[in-house]
Amino acid sequence: MSLSYWFFIIEIWIIIGIILIFLEILDGSMIFFLPIGLASFINALILFINNNFSQVEFISTWHYLLVTLSISSLIFSFILRKFSKKKPKKDINDY
């Protein structure tokens, strides 16, 4: 079986997402594993919609899946970066 066969299995993307989110729990940085894990869930959703509800197949080759993975992981990175910024604490030594 070729690699492109495995890219089109929805369960593979869900397993990749679970593994990456579990690695994020161990790492805790919210920079690398969490956005890619969430993006793999988006890829699974795109494949589900493509297989079940779409009249026209809009994801036809494996590189479209990698493009959607990269774009959605970048979007999740920016969203997580925006919401995870910590406000500077007021220093007790500032008068």
Question: Can you give the pLDDT at residue 84?
Answer: 76
C-alpha–C-alpha distance, residues 45 and 51, integer Å = 10
Which of 2, 3, 7, 18 lies closest to 59 in space, CA to CA? Answer: 7
Query: Mean pLDDT of residues grouped by 10 in the chain (95 residues)?
Result: 84 94 85 91 92 80 90 92 76 71
Give residue 57's pLDDT: 78
| pTM for the full predicted model | 0.81
Task: Return the closest-CA partner of residue 40 out of 57, 23, 28, 56.
Answer: 23
